[in-house]
Every structure is written in C-alpha cells, then in structure tokens.
Amino acid sequence: MKIVVVYESMFGNTGIIGEAIAEGLNEAGEVKVGTVDDVSPDEVRDASLLVAGGPTHSRGLAKVDARGSVTKGKAFAKFGPVLPGRGSLAGWLERLPAGGATVVTFDTRFDRAPWLTGSAAKEIARRLGGKGYSVVGQQSFFVRTTGGPLAEGERERAVAWGRELAASLAPSTA
C-alpha cells in the first residue's frame, strides 16, 4: 500500500505533525512524506491513502501567496523566521489531478471552537472531495501561538492518529 503525506508548514509546527502522522502510518505500507515542494501532485496517482495538511490562516487554508505575506509582515517576525519554501498547499491542490484515493486531512490551529478559529482541514477536505477523492477523516492539532510551539502532547497525538489510520487500513483477518 502506498501512502502520501503532504503538508505546508511556515513555522515548522505543521511539518512536525505531518512527519509524526507518517511515523504512525509506517506500519501500513510505503509512506512518502514531505512538503508541497518535496512531493509532486503526480505522486498521488497510485496512492491508496493521501494525508494532506496545512496551517489554519484567516479561518481556512493559507492562500497561495501567504508565505510571502508572512515573511514580509513585521507582526510575524516575533515568531521567528519563516521556513524556506516556494509552494503552497492551495497551489498544490490546484495542480493535483482528479483521483479516487482515500483521503484524510489535518491542520494546525488554536485550541478554540472551530466556528471561532476556522479549520484548514475542513477546506482541504472540501477541495479534495471536489476532485473525486473519498474524504474519510479530519483532525486538528493545536499550537500555543501563531508561530508555535505545538501544545503539549500534540506530536504524540499525531503519531497515535497515524497508527489508528494504519490499523483502519489493515486488511481484516477475521
């Protein structure tokens, strides 16, 4: 079974979560994990599972030009440098061919009610569903501030979620 985990990460928090989910999924098969710059949308063609995630910005998925805005915005400087990268998850999703793989989505956001914070995972799921993918789950992981760090225990929770996903993919031996 081929699994693709792709994410966009500006301050590193979403990247930590994506890598942790991939760690948990290792039991289920071959896992390709990386940023939208590392993983081509074409690599999803023969995948059984696509896991896609990004940070929640302005109550949803970060815009194509969000990295540039954050890099230039003085208000974000207090969170540290923005990670290098050219691509965005929004742009990656636009280039992704229609498909039929099973999908789960994730995001990083503040630990508040989704109606207040919004959710990138929800928007990612909507876009993938519109391209014919079968969305079977969404998960949010929490940061303390815009630039992080992750809330306590979130990396471990991501590994556990990856393991749960792997177990749900395993063929039944009954």
State the Cα–Cα distance between residues 106 and 14, nearest whole angstrom: 9
Please give the structure tokens belonging to residue 45.
């063609």
Residue that wins the pLDDT comparison between 96 and 58: 96
Position 173 pLDDT exceeds 50? no
Q: Considering the chain, what percentage of its residues have pLDDT values greater than 70? A: 86
Task: Summarize pLDDT for 122-131 with one digit per residue, the tens.
Answer: 999 999 999 9
Our measurement of the distance from residue 77's CA atom to the centroid of its chain's CA atoms, rounded to an integer in Å, reads 23
Higher local confidence (pLDDT), 59 or 140? 140
Alpha-carbon gap, residue 160 to 115, rounded angstroms: 26
In CATH terms, the fold of domain 2-169 is Rossmann fold (3.40.50)
Considering the chain, what percentage of its residues have pLDDT values greater than 90? 72
**Per-domain boundaries in the chain:** 2-169
**Global pTM?**
0.90
Inter-CA distances, 41 with 10, 73, 84, 158, Å: 20, 29, 20, 23
Task: For residues 69-75, give the mean pLDDT.
Answer: 61
Q: Is residue 154 predicted with pLDDT exceeding 70?
A: yes
- Judge whether residue 161 has pLDDT over 70: yes
Q: Taking 60 as the threshold, does the pLDDT of residue 174 lie above it?
A: no
Reading the block at residue 37, the tokens are 């710059």
pLDDT digits (tens, 9 = 90+) for 79-95: 666 666 778 999 999 99
Q: Residue 97: pLDDT above 90?
A: yes
Residues 6+ apart with CB under 8 A from 2: 29, 30, 32, 46, 47, 48, 49
Q: Do residues 3 and 31 touch, judged by C-beta distance below 8 A?
A: yes
- Name the least confident of 49-58, 64-73, 164-173: 64-73
Q: Report the alpha-carbon distance of residue 85 to residue 174 in Å, rounded.
A: 46
**Residue 141's pLDDT band (cuts 50, 70, 90):** very high
The token pair at 110 is 């503040």
